[in-house]
Structure 1
Amino acid sequence: MAWVLLIAAGLFEVAMAYSLKLSDGFSVPLPTVAFAGFAVLSFGLLAAALKSLDVGTAYAVWTGIGAVGTATLGMVVLGDGVSLLKIASIVLILAGVAGLNLAGAAH
């Protein structure tokens, strides 16, 4: 169950970043409120997941989902530039998170 909470927390982190972009520096009310709500949900779910997961692994997965999800959303939805280096970097983030999970499982 903790992994489900952690994945949801990571997805809410992506929604938080997207809302932050749409808030235009907190000048647009609805995305600003959405940002705050998603932030509370994301951190709350992360805190709940940390009750039974190692902090290093959980934080890496949470930030990994956020980084990969936000970068992908930016390229697909927001028109951010796409390059081979960006895609390779996303793959490296995924490899790092998988490596941390495998290292944690060895204990």
Structure 2
Amino acid sequence: MAWLILILAGAVEIAWSQSIKPTEGFTKPLATLVCFALAAVAVYLLSYSMKTLPVGTAYAVFTGIGAVGAIGLGVAVQKDPMSVGRALALALIVGGIVLARVTDPE
């Protein structure tokens, strides 16, 4: 169950990462409120998963999911450039997340 909560926390972090730009430097009140709310939910879910999972593993997986999702959405939605180097970096992050999961003693 902790792994599912951690994956959900990573998904919320992805949404949070996409909510930062619309705040326009935290000058838009509603967008800023959404941004802060998503950040709070992401950290709450992460902390909940840490009741069972090791802190280092949980945080690394959380940030990895967020990074992969943020880059993926940046490429798909914001038309950010994709290069061989970025694709390799994403593959390494995903590989690290998978390795952390399969080697978890839980």
TM (normalized to structure 1)? 0.90
Q: Deviations over 1:72-101 (max 9, x none)?
A: 011101111111111111001111222233
The within-5 A match list for 1:1-107 is 1-105=1-105
Structure 1 unaligned blocks of 5 or more: none
Structure 2 unaligned blocks of 5 or more: none
Structure 1 stretches of at least 4 aligned residues deviating more than 6 Å after TM superposition? none
| One-letter amino acid matched to 1:52 | T
Aligned-partner Cα distance in 2 for 1:102–1:57: 12
Give 1:16 deviation, angstroms: 0.8
| One-letter amino acid matched to 2:73 | L
Shifted more, 92-101 versus 45-54: the winner is 92-101
Give 1:28 deviation, angstroms: 2.1
Structure 2 residue matching 1:104: 3-state secondary structure: coil
Superposed CA RMSD in Å reads: 1.5
Structure 1 residue matching 2:18: 3-state secondary structure: helix
Aligned length: 106
| One-letter amino acid matched to 2:12 | F
The percent of aligned pairs where both chains have the same amino acid is 41
Give 1:103 deviation, angstroms: 3.5
